[in-house]
Structure formats: structure tokens, C-alpha cells
């Protein structure tokens, strides 16, 4: 079946007992196992079934099954947030003395976790700088390579197949944060990547009303993550949130088409505006990763980042927006705008932000599903306010 069909039907089965067409919300903390012998088998992992809500829930399981189908994975594990998924994976795979190599930039929370938390537990963290540097940087201690594409917030594009080829030659696991692209636009496992991660809070949920994270990859590894990263650490996704994720995924293809179409028009408009210094959007032919994006994506996403004249200009521009809400996060049906250097990436040292292009002049726009003409009109009036303030200050 095509992806649009699987987005609706995968993991979706009428309830056997009641015939309910929509997956029920199983609001229970524990599950009866009926007998001493069956309980022993369940807890030993010798028989499939539900035993305790921290480890698994039928509503959440339906969400995991849908992600398995959409990403083309063997197994998936859901979590309470994207950061819970990242930390569960790292806690399962890494030990003191191991190394994680990443390709910058990353979401500020992810990079902060790597640099501040993992290093405290004896894990070496290395920024590769570029794909070309990977062969010389990887060492016997390297256990995984982690990256995003498109990246947050500069929308840099990394070649999935190129990274996978280098990693497999050295026996290193690859993990890709596919939050910005979603499985509708990119399926990293098809390009040789081992594990896909999502902050499902964003496009997968799509409505800005709940938090979730999810990992998808080989069954053996995902089973290990469930047993250790989820069971021991406990970043469990609730049944109601699992229900909301299921609801969101059903319309993911339709929403992504609207996000991509709107972002393309917004990017083209901003690229022509004299007050905008630079536009980051992989759909523009001028983007350095445009050709790679065309090859590995089925659309260019709903994020557009722009560089303005100064931090003050960015502040005036953001404060002037009316349809774009100033807020962190992304992927909602409503358009959002934020200044990453002072919000999502603020806790990173300024020299790291500057090195990765997260400058004081950068603004990130999450283009929603509103009419692009209305969004462009909002951007235009905010840019006009910015230009007026600049003229008045001279």
C-alpha cells in the first residue's frame, strides 16, 4: 500500500471486544496476567503481552506499529518526548569510554545533552564538522554517529547514503533525527541508516497539543531499548498521548503537502526581499544542499530560516508578526516563529552557536497550513516595521 494509505490504516484494527473503529484509549497502569505461570513467562519475555504501563500499552503500541510501517522499520518504541527517546537510546548503547560522533548543528537540547550529560558519565563526544571528516575522526571507541537532516535551525542537508556507507565500513551505528522531514518526505532506513528518531511532538502530532518521541529501527536493538532505555529509565508515553499521535499520523501526508507548499512560497518571497540577508531553505536552487535534498527527499519541508541585519532587526521583525506566533517548537498547523540563539539554543556556549551558524541574526519560521498569501502578507508588514525602525535609528 502507498504511504498515504498506510498513514491511515497501519496499526489500526477495530477493537476485538467492542468493535470500536478508532483505537481505544487504554487508561490503565497495570494488566492482569491471569495465572502465576503466565505472569512468570510474561516478565521473562517468553510470551508477548502487556504487564505494566511503563513498558507497554495497547494504544501506544498501535502508534508504534504505524511508525514501523511508515518508516519501513522492523520495530519502534515510543517515549514521552524526543529527548526521552534520545537519552534512552544513548543509555542503552553507550558506556564510559565510548564515543559518540555527531554532525552539527543539532537541536540545542540534544547537543546540550551530549556535551553536558554524556561527558559527565565518561562518554567522549566529538563534532565531526563535516561528512568528509568522518573517516579520519572515527575511532575504535566510536559507537554511533548522530545527525539531523535538515538540521535545526540552519536547514543544512546531509547525504544519508554517504554517511551510512562510511559508518558501515567501520561497524558504527548511525542514528538520524528525522523530525523535520518526517517519513512522508524522507525514510532514512531506505538510505542505509540504522535508527530513526523523531520528536513526535512536531509534525507527527501536528497540532501542538502533546509531547512524544519515538525510535524506529532493527527489532533486536529496539527490544534492547525497550528493556533498558524505557523499562529502567521510564520516559513512558501515556495512552492519551499515544491516541493523539495516532490521530495526527492519519493526516500527516495531507499536512506535509500544505506545509511544503506554503514554505516554498514563503522562501521564494523572502529570497527576493531586500531587507533579508539570506534565506535557508533546501527547496531553493541556491541552497548548497539542494541537489542532495532533491535526491533523498520527496519535498523540502515546512521550515524556513532567515538571516536579518542584526539582533535588533530580528527582535523588531518577530514582535511585528501577527499570524506567526512567537513560540518554540515547530510542525504545528499554526505558523510559529522563534529566535533560536536566545531560545532553543541559548544554553549552548556562544562560540558553538556561532560556529554552527546559529547567530543572533537568525530567525526560524515554521510554516503552518494557513494560506501562503496571508502568511506572506504578515511577513511583509513585519519586515516593513523592521525597515522603518532601522531608518529611524540612523
Whether residue 393 is predicted with pLDDT greater than 80 in this model: the reply is no
Domains of the chain: 3-250 (3.40.640.10), 253-392 (3.90.1150.10)
What do you get for the CA distance between the two ends of the chain, in Å? Answer: 61
pLDDT at 392: 60
pLDDT tens track for 341-384 = 999 888 788 888 888 888 999 999 999 999 999 999 999 999 99
Predicted confidence (pLDDT) at residue 211 exceeds the cutoff of 70: yes
pLDDT of residue 352: 84
Residues 6+ apart with CB under 8 A from 65: 10, 11, 76
Is pLDDT above 80 for 259?
Answer: yes
Q: What is the predicted pLDDT for the residue at 349?
A: 84
What is the spatial distance between Cα 5 and Cα 250, in angstroms, rounded to a whole number?
9
Residue 394 has pLDDT above 60, yes or no: no
C-alpha cell at 105: 548543528
Instruction: Say how far apart CA 131 and CA 296 lie, in whole Å.
Output: 16
Q: Residue 202 — pLDDT band, cuts 50, 70, 90?
A: very high
Q: Cell digits for 141?
A: 571507541
For residue 339, the tally of other CB atoms under 10 A from its CB is: 24
pLDDT in tens, 171-198: 999 999 999 999 999 999 999 999 999 9
User: Maximum Cα–Cα distance for the chain, whole Å?
Assistant: 81
**pLDDT number for residue 135:** 97
| Pairwise pLDDT comparison (391 vs 29), residue with the higher score | 29
Query: Using an 8 Å Cβ cutoff, are 200 and 235 in contact?
Result: no
Q: How confident is the model at residue 104 (pLDDT cuts 50, 70, 90)?
A: very high
pLDDT digits (tens, 9 = 90+) for 53-85: 999 999 999 999 999 999 999 999 999 999 999
pLDDT (tens digit per residue) in 16-46: 889 999 999 999 999 999 999 999 999 998 9
CA torsion, points 7, 81, 113, 69, in degrees to nearest 10? -20
User: Mind listing the pLDDT tens digit for each residue in 288-297?
Assistant: 999 999 999 9
Q: Of all residues in the chain, what percent carry a pLDDT higher than 90?
A: 91
Distance, in Å, from the CA atom of 113 to the CA atom of 345, rounded to the nearest integer, reads: 12
What residues act catalytically? 54, 107, 177, 202
Reading the block at residue 230, the C-alpha cell is: 524505557
Average pLDDT, the chain: 95
Residue 7's pLDDT is 95
Q: How far apart are CA 3 and CA 204, in angstroms?
A: 14
2 Rama class: left (phi>0) / alpha (psi -120 to 50) / beta: beta
Low-confidence winner among 147-161, 320-334, 339-353 (lowest mean pLDDT): 339-353
Q: List 100's β-bridge partners, or say none.
A: 125, 144
Residue 389 has pLDDT above 80, yes or no: no
Q: Which long-range contacts (CB under 8 A, 24 or more apart) does 109-116 make?
A: 109/83, 109/344, 110/83, 110/86, 110/146, 110/177, 111/345, 111/348, 111/352, 112/347, 112/348, 113/83, 113/86, 113/87, 114/146, 115/348
Alpha-carbon gap, residue 227 to 80, rounded angstroms: 16
Q: What is the mean pLDDT of residues 229-253?
A: 97
Amino acid at each position: 500500500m502507498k504511504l498515504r494509505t498506510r498513514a491511515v490504516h497501519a496499526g489500526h484494527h477495530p477493537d476485538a471486544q467492542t468493535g470500536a473503529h478508532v483505537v481505544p484509549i487504554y487508561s490503565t497502569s497495570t494488566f492482569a496476567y491471569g495465572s502465576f505461570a503466565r505472569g512468570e513467562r510474561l516478565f521473562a519475555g517468553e510470551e508477548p503481552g502487556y504487564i505494566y504501563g511503563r513498558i507497554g500499552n495497547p494504544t501506544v503500541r498501535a502508534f508504534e506499529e504505524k511508525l514501523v510501517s511508515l518508516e519501513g522499520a522492523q520495530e519502534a518504541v515510543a517515549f514521552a518526548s524526543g529527548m526521552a527517546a534520545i537519552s534512552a537510546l544513548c543509555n542503552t548503547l553507550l558506556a564510559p569510554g565510548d564515543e559518540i560522533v555527531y554532525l552539527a548543528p543539532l537541536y540545542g537540547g540534544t547537543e546540550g545533552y551530549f556535551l553536558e550529560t554524556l561527558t559527565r558519565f565518561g562518554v567522549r563526544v566529538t563534532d565531526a564538522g563535516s561528512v568528509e571528516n568522518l573517516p579520519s575522526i572515527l575511532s575504535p571507541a566510536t559507537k554511533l554517529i548522530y545527525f539531523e537532516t535538515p538540521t535545526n535551525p540552519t536547514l543544512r542537508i546531509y547525504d544519508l547514503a554517504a554517511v551510512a556507507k562510511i559508518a558501515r565500513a567501520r561497524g558504527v551505528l548511525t542514528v538520524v533525527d528525522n523530525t523535520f522531514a518526517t517519513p512522508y518526505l524522507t525514510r532514512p532506513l531506505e538510505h542505509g541508516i540504522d535508527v530513526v528518531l523523531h520528536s513526535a511532538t512536531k509534525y507527527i502530532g501536528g497540532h501542538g497539543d502533546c509531547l512524544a518521541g519515538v525510535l524506529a529501527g532493527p527489532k533486536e536493538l529496539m527490544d534492547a531499548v525497550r528493556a533498558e532505555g524505557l523499562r529502567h529509565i521510564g520516559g513512558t508515553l501515556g495512552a492519551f498521548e499515544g491516541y493523539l499521535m495516532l490521530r495526527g499520523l492519519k493526516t500527516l501526508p495531507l499536512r506535509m503537502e500544505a506545509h511544503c507548499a506554503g514554505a516554498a512560497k514563503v522562501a521564494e518571497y523572502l529570497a527576493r526581499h531586500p531587507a533579508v540577508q539570506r534565506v535557508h531553505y533546501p527547496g531553493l536552487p541556491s541552497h548548497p544542499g539542494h541537489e542532495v535534498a532533491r535526491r533523498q527527499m520527496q519535498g523540502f519541508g515546512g521550515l524556513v530560516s532567515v538571516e536579518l541585519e542584526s539582533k535588533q532587526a530580528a527582535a523588531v521583525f518577530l514582535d511585528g508578526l501577527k499570524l506567526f506566533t512567537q513560540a518554540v517548537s515547530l510542525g504545528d498547523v499554526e505558523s510559529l516563529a522563534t529566535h533560536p540563539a536566545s531560545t532553543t539554543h541559548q544554553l549552548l556556549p556562544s562560540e558553538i552557536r556561532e560556529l554552527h551558524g546559529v547567530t543572533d541574526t537568525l530567525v526560524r519560521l515554521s510554516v503552518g497550513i494557513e494560506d501562503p498569501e496571508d502568511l506572506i502578507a504578515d511577513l511583509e508588514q513585519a519586515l516593513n516595521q523592521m525597515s522603518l525602525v532601522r531608518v529611524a535609528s540612523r
